[in-house]
Structure formats: C-alpha cells, structure tokens
Structure 1
Amino acid sequence: MTALQSALEELRAGRLAVIPTDTVYGLAAACGAAPALFALKKRPRAKALPVLGCCVSDLERVANFSAAALRIAERLWPGPLTLVLERAPSLDVDLGGDGATIAVRVPAHEMALELLVRSGPVAVTSANRTGEPPATTVTEARATFAGEVRAFVDGGRCDGAPSSVVSVTDELRLLRAGAVTLAEVRQALG
C-alpha cells in the first residue's frame, strides 16, 4: 500500500494523516473528524481550522464563493493563498471559529492534490504542536506525531513560507501576509 492510499484510508476512517502542501506539512482530517485535530494539537477552538480542496467545485461544498472570490481563485489557485469566505449553510461540522466563515485553499502540491481528488475536502492545520515551528519535512512531522498519527505522506521538503490569508466576505482584507501579496489579489480581480 502506498503512503497516499494509507492516508486516504486513515482519513476515511475518521483518523488523522500528515500530508505535504506547497507551504508546510499539514495534519489533516475529514471535516467531520476535526475535533481530533483540535485535541491532538491542543488548538483553541476559537481558532478555526482551514479546509483544503482539490478545486473550487470541491470547496463549494463547504463555502459560498462570491463572484470576486471565484475570480481570485481561478487566477491564483492552486497556490499559497487562503480565502476566508462565508461558510456554506449545509456544512454542519464544527471547524471552530465563529461558524459564519471558513478559510479555504487549493494547494499547489501534486501529491496533496492527488489525495484531495480522492478524499474530498479536508480540515487541516500545520503539522506541529501549537507554538512550535511547522514541519517542512515528513521527518520533522513524524518526530512530532509518531505514535499518534499512522499515515505520513512524504512529498519532499516544503517551502515553509505561510500562505497569505485574505478575507473576501465583505471588502478585501489581508488577514495574514504570506507568499501572495494583497496587490496580486487585487490584480486578480481585474
């Protein structure tokens, strides 16, 4: 069984998997298993979990994309840009935060996308203990979570730069600076 198959089985069983992204390694769970992510990382529930998907249509299951958000996504995804959008009313899982918005992203990493095509959207957080540096290699992630996570997908060294986080719920707002600038996001709007 390949590491991707193992990760997919773990996610489908409601357990966690470590996966590579274009930024850092992520600790992933099916959206319904998000409480396990909060517990393992000791992450405060006030800090919502972002969701990764393989494409916009995949993420439309969890978020409402405005025309502006669609334009940004079609021009800048896949890539290190997280969009904060209105949460889809049909999404009835606890991802933390205010429950009104959701952070979504399509990573530019071939192995992550291959997994996401098969798994559907997953809740994700950086593969590290809260307050520690995020893992940029599977070896670092395994050192942190060996014995607690069974599936580790080795996608090589990740960039390490955080994704930019931009709110597109009302006016365009940069919530976290990262690899994509607000000017690039504005330019994507046309």
Structure 2
Amino acid sequence: MGELKQVVGNGRTVRIDVNRLSEHAVGVLDDRLARAVEGPVQRVEHTLDEVEQRVAAIGTQKASEAAQTVEKVTDKADELVASVSRAERRLAALKGRLTWTTVGRVSLTLLPLFAALILVGGLVWGVGHVFGIGPLFGWAWASFTAASAWWAKALIAVGTLVGAGFFVLLVLRVSEWIYEELR
C-alpha cells in the first residue's frame, strides 16, 4: 500500500498523463472502428465493382449499337453517292440532246392540255358567275354562323358540301367530255 501511496502521491491528487491516455484511447477506438466499418466498406466495394461491370457492359453494348448505326448510315451514304453519280452521268449525257426541236415537240404535245384547261377554267368561271356560286357560298357561311342549334349548323354544312360536291362532279364530267372531243 505504501507503494500505491507513493504512486498516487499524497492520496488526494490523481494525476493523469493525457498523452498516454489519448494514445491508448485512440488505439482502442481505431481497432473497434476498423472492425465495425469493415463489413459495410466491403459491401460498398462489392456494389461498386458490380456497378462498374454493369457500366462496362452497357458501354460495350451502346458502342456496338452505335457502330452498327454508323455502318448503316455509311451504307446509305454510299448508295446516295452512287445514285447521285448516276444522275450526274445521265444529266451529262442529256446535256447536249435538248434542242429547240425537242422543246417545240414538247410544247405541241402540251397544247391540247392547255386548251382543255382554258376551256374548263372558262366554263367553271362562267358557270360559277352565272349561278352565283361565290355569293351562294357566302350566304351558306352566313347562315351557318347565324345558326345557334348544332343540328341546324350540321344541316347547313351537309347541304353546302353536297351542293359543292355536285358542282365539282359536274365540272369533272364536262371536262371529260371536252377531253374526249379534243382527242
């Protein structure tokens, strides 16, 4: 006990070496913390390895798909270049062949078409003017906007469209008749 008293001193004062205590506490805490964190750290490392493998697989897959798409686009571009080259060769071959004689023949071929268009246009304009198609459609539109019931609007719309359809049918029949007469 004397020894203890001597170590403690006068028995009332206890002295602690803070440096030795902190070294001991830090060592104990480090060991316990390392053991406590070891499992979760391994799980996180394992998860990160799996994520890396997935990302690598996805990257490889996407790179493969991109390569296939680039290959398809390149093939289409090659086809387009070949097509344009053929068209350029055709144009170069036709360049000297278009003469004034050819232009005259094409114009003579189109002359009956232009005559039929002028006749049909004149007929449509004349018939439309005589029957007052413009004012008739204006009246139908005014009646449609003035109607308040949905069924009245539907009847006006159907009647107007049927009338317009009959007029277009009449113009087509007359056009066919004129075409047959000029042929």
Which gives a bigger RCO, structure 1 or 2 (Cα 8 Å, sep 6+)?
1
| TM-score, normalised via structure 1 length | 0.19
Q: Which of the pair is proportionally richer in helix? A: 2
Q: TM-score, normalised to structure 2's length?
A: 0.19
